[in-house]
Structure 1
Amino acid sequence: MSGPTSYLFVPGHRPDLIAKSRRSGAGAVVIDLEDAVAPADRPAARRAVRAALTAEPVPGQQLWVRINAPGSADAEADLAAIGDLLTHARVPKVDDPGQLDWVAARASRLTATLPAIESATGLLAAPAVAAHPLVVRLGLGGVDLANDLGCDGSAAALAYPRSVLVVASRAAGLPGPVNSVFAQLDDPDGLLTHARAARAIGFGAQSALTPRQLPAIHQVFGLAADRLIWAREVLGAFEAAGGAACRTPSGEFVDLPIAQEAQRILAAV
């Protein structure tokens, strides 16, 4: 199972940026009603989100809405405004699968949720959250999680939390989790380092704050040409050997687990 490799966030009160994001080439667009929108702007943002949800879909691109925290007055208002149209909900600050039931009870067409794990309590609940039938992927809320843990948010500090989400996702049969945003908009090298640290642990996608970040994200989380060549060579040798352990023409040993990894890579193309 796979999914988009990039999730581009866009403020819900900016219809111009919503339209631009749909042309960005992002695998998924996340219209934000939470952190990127001031409370005074949220009524207008809900109207703009409603218009976006009724617009012509972009082929091959998922459209998500990040609502406010389940149980809050703002989330109630979000779902009162768009609950009859919402199919894909990015849900913040999830630390209990019951919060997803709360959202589903107010969104009659909901088919997919992407819960963000943003606290120590959420980390401990990650396996139960991942197993919820409406969850299609987990996300890491890295800034809020670092604040909750009192850590510096570095790759080393987040290695364990990221690994928890990878293991919970795998156990639930979900794609690799979605990495948190990288807030330094003019630091492409820093973005690459941030994304590669998550990819090395098993994350499968990255959130973005601007279309300028998408090329680096796709570079890290996309399937590199050399990786595809490797997978095809492995499967060719394995199939030629009738499923027995063998060597590729370039001299690599291949057995069933290695062949399965090659199959996984090619299945994601």
Structure 2
Amino acid sequence: MSESYTPRRSVLYMPSSNARALEKAKTLPVDALILDLEDAVGPDDKPAAREAACAAVTSGEYGDRELTIRVNGIGTQWHDEDIAAAAKAGPAGIVVPKVDTADEVRQLVAAMAATGAPEHTKLWAMIETPAAIFNIREIAQASDRLVAFVMGTNDLVKELQADHVPGRAPLLTSLSWALLAAREAGIAVLDGVYNAVKDLEGFTTECEQGRDMGFDGKTLIHPGQVAVCNTTFAPSQDAVEEARGILTAWEEGAGTGVVTHNGKMIENLHVDIARRVLATHEAIRARS
């Protein structure tokens, strides 16, 4: 866990063509927003949506929410203009769908630099295809400007010719490979969306699965999913107290050779985990 850890428990897609949605987003307790120019916006509305997303980013009206813009994909008629406009606006991240290769990452980073994206504007790559999964390690390590994977689980299900089922068995291999590559490269990785927006029980179960697997947070399609997501991906109070106890025991036992806490032996790895839990907790508290 780096000192610059950024909470990304809840990352909500918002259609940039919908002025009411953009206004509502200013009041939602989300960690991050993806201002969408792609799937949620019809072809005729894309130029206006682009302008609205950039205006939102530069408005200063979204508090400490991390703002990103999802552009249309490489090869589409809108992509180049989207990249140029987003770079000028300078969001925290530019989210690009269907990034399949390391060469595409380098192409995107070069385009961002050429259009004047400030240093703080990073690349978030959406992982949505079998090709991306097979290339995942190279993608993760292609550029220091790449800071996050966003799992496009709906597209992965489609490409795999699989079904959406409880437990997500058809996706577990893809999710695990992406997690492995992200952790090796030291970047964030966000779980995909849950489509049944009224099924909070199923949504909670999937959030818990993603948390247990190691995801930093989850992408969302409805404001009603935010509270569950924030709670699930934050350390519990019991976890925080356990982490504090481990660190206290470790500091008090320095040089003794064997350190225990609550009857369990403590090693360096437990100390690292405890520090990560507390860093996460403090970053969330600071945001709240």
TM normalised by structure 1 equals 0.93
* Equivalent residues in 2 for 1:163-178, closer than 5 Å: 163-175=176-188, 177-178=189-190
For 1:9, what is the secondary structure of its paired residue?
Answer: strand
Query: Cα distance, 1:117 vs. partner?
Result: 0.4
1:260 equivalent in structure 2: 272
For 1:113, what is the secondary structure of its paired residue?
Answer: strand
Query: Cα distance, 1:53 vs. partner?
Result: 2.1
For 1:84, what is the secondary structure of its paired residue?
Answer: helix
Is the CA contact 1:6–1:214 (under 8 Å) kept in the aligned structure 2?
yes
2:286 equivalent in structure 1: none
Is the CA contact 1:46–1:81 (under 8 Å) kept in the aligned structure 2?
yes
1:93 and 2:98 aligned: yes
Query: Cα distance, 1:71 vs. partner?
Result: 2.5
Q: Structure 1: how far apart are the matches of 2:86 and 2:190?
A: 24
For 1:64, what is the secondary structure of its paired residue?
Answer: strand
1:109 and 2:117 aligned: yes
- Runs of 4+ in structure 1 deviating by more than 6 angstroms, as ranges, are none
1:34 equivalent in structure 2: 38
1:232 equivalent in structure 2: 244
Gaps of 5+ in 1: none
Alpha carbons of structure 1 residues 22 and 103: separation in structure 2 relative to 1, 3 Å: farther
1:201 equivalent in structure 2: 213
Query: Cα distance, 1:69 vs. partner?
Result: 0.7
2:146 equivalent in structure 1: 135
Q: Structure 2: how far apart are the matches of 1:261 and 1:9?
A: 30
TM normalised by structure 2 equals 0.87
Of residues 63-72 and 103-112 in structure 1, the stretch that sits farther from structure 2 once superposed is 103-112
* Match of residue 145, structure 1, among 150, 153, 156: 156
For 2:196, what is the secondary structure of its paired residue?
Answer: coil
Counterpart code for 1:171: E
Query: Cα distance, 1:174 vs. partner?
Result: 1.6
Is the CA contact 1:66–1:89 (under 8 Å) kept in the aligned structure 2?
yes
Q: Structure 1: how far apart are the matches of 2:268 and 2:240?
A: 18
2:12 equivalent in structure 1: 8
Query: Cα distance, 1:208 vs. partner?
Result: 1.0
Of residues 100-109 and 35-44 in structure 1, the stretch that sits farther from structure 2 once superposed is 100-109
For 1:152, what is the secondary structure of its paired residue?
Answer: coil
Query: Cα distance, 1:80 vs. partner?
Result: 4.3
- Cα deviation, 1:40-81, whole Å, max 9, x if unaligned, reads 111211121121122015332110000011232121232344
Counterpart code for 1:58: Y
Is the CA contact 1:163–1:202 (under 8 Å) kept in the aligned structure 2?
no
- Cα deviation, 1:171-200, whole Å, max 9, x if unaligned, reads 10123x101111111110111111112211
Is the CA contact 2:86–2:94 (under 8 Å) kept in the aligned structure 1?
no
* Match of residue 72, structure 2, among 68, 73, 93: 68
Q: How many residues align?
A: 267
Is the CA contact 1:245–1:256 (under 8 Å) kept in the aligned structure 2?
no
Counterpart code for 1:97: A
Is the CA contact 1:8–1:210 (under 8 Å) kept in the aligned structure 2?
yes
Gaps of 5+ in 2: 283-288
Counterpart code for 2:134: L
Q: Structure 2: how far apart are the matches of 1:142 and 1:84?
A: 30
Q: Structure 1: how far apart are the matches of 2:210 and 2:61?
A: 30
